Amino acid sequence: METTKLTKQDFLDILFNDRNKDYGAYDLRRRYDKRVRNAVVGMSGIVLLIIGGYGVGTRLVAGNGPVRETFIPYEAPERIDPLIEKPPVIPPPTRVEPPAASRPTVQHVTFAVVPNEQVSPEDEPRKNSELTDVSIGLKTADGDINGSDNGAPDGFGGGNNVVEAPEVVDREKPETFVQFMPEFPGGEKALANYLSKNIRYPVTASETGVEGTVFIKFVVGSTGEIRDVEVVGAKKGAGLEEEAIRVVKKMPKWKPGRQNGQTVAVYFNLPIRFTLNAE
């Protein structure tokens, strides 16, 4: 007999031949398949029962409770047309404060020497007593007596109608420009005569043919003395600068410059031209 064709029952009978079949091992092996089948079927039934009970319970609970619906509002997105430009935001205009009120003005009188019969009453200058509450301007116009002078802010103008010249602090500190510049005694013509009589053409410059203009800068003091003589600009050489300085230092006292009625020291520039006479 081939062992492969033996059934499980026959195999057990051969295995337990001449053995105690009542001991229990034989019976257990014989009913093994049945017990496994019953166990699988029982376990499957229990699992199905649990799953079914859970599903039925969930449905019952959901059916008894209130139904809540969630509402989400829909907002349509803003449509942006790239071809349409938004208008620019224009800021509000800046507030401009009105100018302060001006005092009444009287037109400035232009003086001219004419016969009396050609002068009209309107052209005659006002008296000082008539100019107390008015200002001098380009035209005659009405205004507020308590206003500012020609529309100037408060705090400007006014005074005692007397213009006082500022005092010169240091009269010996040279100024560049003053009301009255210093002057050579006798004027420009006398200065030209002095230079022509006192300048001696340097021998070196005469022999080498050097000529040109030398610029001399000096200070005319508050008493008219000459000091701080120096050469400015490009130098010509050949002794021209030395001769120009010598002649300037020998000058007599000048008429000093004046500022606000006081004599002050002033810078002065003097060009001295050296020219060779053609033979």
| pLDDT tens-place string over residues 71-98 | 566 566 666 565 566 677 778 878 777 6
Task: Say if 248 falls within a structural domain.
Answer: yes
- For residue 9, give its domain range: 3-30
Report residue 141's pLDDT band, with 50, 70 and 90 as the boundaries.
confident
Does a structural domain hold residue 193?
A: yes
The predicted structure's pLDDT at residue 13? 64
> What are the pLDDT digits (tens) for 105-119?
777 777 677 677 777
29: tokens are 């092996």
pTM for the whole structure? 0.41
Q: How far is CA 63 from CA 51, 52, 60, 112, 117, in A?
A: 19, 17, 5, 118, 125
CATH number at residue 242: 3.30.2420.10
Task: Report the domain count for the chain.
Answer: 3
For the chain, give the longest Cα–Cα distance: 181
Determine, yes or no, domain membership for 70: no
Among 128, 151, 174, the domain-final residue is 151
Helix or strand run (H / E) with residue 270: strand 266-274
Residue 101 DSSP class: P
